Amino acid sequence: MMMTNAQIRRTAKDSLRGSWGLAIGVILLNYLLTTVVGSVVGWIPFIGWIAIYFVEAPLAVGLVWFFLAISRKDKPEVSYLFSGFRSYWRTLAAYVLVSLFIFLWSLLLIVPGIIKMFSYSQTFMILRDNPNISALDAITESRHMMDGYKGKFFGLSLYFLLWYIIPIIVLIIGMILLMGSIFAGYDYSYGYSMYDMSTSMSMMSGGLFAGGLIMVILGGLASLGISLYVMPYMMTACGVFYDDLTNTLYTANDNFDNDPDISPYGVPSDFNAAEDPFENDQHPDGFGPNDEKDPFDEANTTAPADEVHQKEAKPVIPPEFTTPEGEPEIGESKEEKPEDDPSDKK
């Protein structure tokens, strides 16, 4: 049975104890690198956007792997952020495919895209624990793992999203005040909607502008401060959720060791299971390897195959050579020699 979301959050806090500074530093470093790359090549149409993906993808995967290690109390170093570059093409393919699939599903009125975002949420962590799995198979495995657990993961994510309600409200109010200052500064005496900052801005518009600017700055700073706390907390909790889900699915399957078609997550695996060509065959009763019957069992009941092969075959004695008690008569089975024919001597 999985932990509750409250237990997952407590476990994440316990894993972060003593590593908060490192976790915040890695978050800032990842943000700095992606911002620098975006500002350098992002202005180039199409080619610049592709270049951003080539750098952002392994960094995003490495960030997930870093906090997965934090959740396991492995004490990773800052260089762990760049671990996604070690299997570059695999992590790049996974990042691009996940982004593409979520975008395509989002075209169906956004909600399907959100659902699929939770379905694919374990992909990068599956890549970390399975070095030989392909990107597409990791996405499929994540979808299998999250079947029936998307609601639980949504509840866990919602807790962290609620932290941003107040900063978002402050930002919205600030933007409204800024827009109000612009409209208040219009001078309609010319018959046109012309805005002349030097002559037409009234005291009211100036106050609205100053208040809106302050609100926007405060909202941005509040969002930044909350992010430095919430982002490490949330990503570590996601790592705890992944390990707890893996252990739950693993222990739920008692036949894991004997079934090659079961993945380490306790669900049917699409990437390591060979198809059984006889899976859909229908055999009549008493026929086939699973329906062998013991011919020496009086009840003619089905016996396990290994017991059937271990039994020694008993000799079949015809009824004419048995006594009423069922024992064979001694000497009855000897063959009698035919009498000599006198004609043969001639």
**SS3 sequence of the chain:** CCCCHHHHHHHHHHHHCCCHHHHHHHHHHHHHHHHHHHHHHCCCCCHHHHHHHHHHHHHHHHHHHHHHHHHCCCCCCHHHHHHHHCCHHHHHHHHHHHHHHHHHHHCCCCHHHHHHHHHCCCHHHHHHHCCCCCHHHHHHHHHHHCCCCHHHHHHHHHHHHHHHHHHHHHHHHHHHHHHHHHHHCEEHHHCCCEECHHHHCCHHHHHHHHHHHHHHHHHHHHHHHHHHHHHHHHHHHHHHHHHHHHHHHHHHCCCCCCCCCECCCCCECCCCCCCCCCCCCCCCCCCCCCCCECCCCCCCCECCHHHHHHCCCCCCCCHHHECCCCCECCCCCCCCCCCCCHHHHC
Bigger pLDDT: 314 or 136? 136
First to last CA, the chain: 98
Examine the pLDDT at 140 and tell me if it is beyond 50: yes
Is residue 20 predicted with pLDDT exceeding 70? yes
Find the angle CA(184)-CA(187)-CA(193) to the nearest 5 degrees. Answer: 95
What integer pLDDT is reported at residue 27 of this predicted model?
A: 94
**Tens-place pLDDT, residues 192-237:** 444 444 445 566 677 777 888 888 899 999 999 999 999 999 999 9
Q: b/e per residue, 164-183, with b = 16+ CB within 10 A?
A: beebeebbebbeebbebbee
More confident residue, 135 or 338: 135
| pLDDT value at residue 174 | 87
Q: What is the mean pLDDT of residues 238-251?
A: 90
Q: Are strands 186-187 and 194-195 parallel, antiparallel or unpaired?
A: antiparallel
Contact between 181 and 214 (Cβ < 8 Å): no
Cα 323 to Cα 328: distance, rounded to the nearest angstrom: 6
Average pLDDT of every residue of the chain: 76
Q: Is the pLDDT of residue 106 over 80?
A: yes
Q: Which one has a higher pLDDT value, 182 or 280?
A: 182
341: helix, strand or coil: coil
CB 2 within 8 A of CB 152: yes
Residue among 271, 232, 217, 181 at smallest CA distance from 26: 232
- Residue 156 above 50 pLDDT? yes
The predicted-structure confidence for 272-331, as pLDDT tens digits, reads as follows 433 433 344 343 343 334 444 444 444 444 444 444 444 444 555 555 545 555 455 444
pLDDT for res 191: 46
| pLDDT at position 324 | 52
Percent of the chain with pLDDT over 90: 45
Distance CA 198, CA 216 (A): 23
Question: pLDDT tier at 178 (50, 70, 90 boundaries)?
Answer: confident
Distance CA 306, CA 79 (A): 55
